[in-house]
Amino acid sequence: MIKAIIIEDERMIADEFKRMLNEVSGETAIMGTFSTVRDSVEYLLHSEAPDLIFSDVQLPDGLSFDIFNKVNIQSPVIFVTAYDQFIVNAFEHNGIDYLLKPVDARDLVKALTKYKALEKHFTGHSSFFNLFSQKTRSRLMVKKGIENISLRTDDIVIIYAEDKLFFIIDREGKKYRVDKNLAELGQELDNTIFFRANRQYIVNIGFIKSYKTYEKVKLQVDLMMPTLNHHIVVSQEMAPFFRKWISEL
């Protein structure tokens, strides 16, 4: 049985898609249907990972790609959308197929066949999900001038974006350049230790001293290194997830 979820904000479209799935694949069980980035993130953070995700791209509170930037998702995704301009991004975010609305039953069958073929190929060799995920990193390659340094992730205090470049500050206050962006690093780092506070910052829980309410709906994070001149604010959207994340660790 394939355990799947659907991410789609139009209820009638989601219901029609479930009906079509039942017709073409009696072995697909829908575990839940979600209409927003927020609800999808909440489910994926706290529930068993589905075998497969069917996802629209444009949702009321953002693009579904935002989900993958907030959760280390290992499940393959079949994107279902009315627009073809997102196809490149789709295959950078666990995508194994891209179906255009209105979905043709024959195209859905082909997509499910592709999923099964990939699953069969990876069974017995390595985890099917290893196709889409990497083991969390214990070290990152960073740059200091012309020198390339292997930095322990435990020593990272914050990672941040500035003028389209990406930097790391370690426990000694040293600053390094890193070639990967925050979305890529978020996929590689242990999400029980590192949290994407907003579009600019990732923070290490080991260096969080406290947090407090900021502008009523946001949170301000105070670090154990007060000399760092960084104002880290957890966005309104991520604030409830931050509270849950930090209280459960």
List pLDDT tens digits, range 219-242: 999 999 878 889 999 988 788 888
Q: How much of the chain exceeds pLDDT 70, in percent? A: 93
Instruction: Tell me the pLDDT tens digit for each residue of 35-89.
Output: 999 999 999 988 888 999 999 999 999 999 999 888 877 789 999 988 877 777 7
pLDDT, residue 127, reads: 47
The stretch 194-205 carries a mean pLDDT of 91
- Distance between CA 116 and CA 119 in Å, rounded? 5
Sequence ranges of the domains in the chain: 2-131, 139-247
135 or 97: which leads in pLDDT: 97
CATH class of the domain whose range is 2-131: alpha beta
- pLDDT higher for 182 or 143? 143
pLDDT category, 122, cuts 50, 70, 90?
A: low
The per-residue pLDDT for range 142-151, each reduced to its tens digit, is 999 999 999 9
Q: What predicted TM-score, i.e. pTM, was given to this entire model?
A: 0.53
At the topology level, CATH places domain 139-247 in: OB fold (Dihydrolipoamide Acetyltransferase, E2P) (2.40.50)
Structure token digits, residue 157: 């205090």
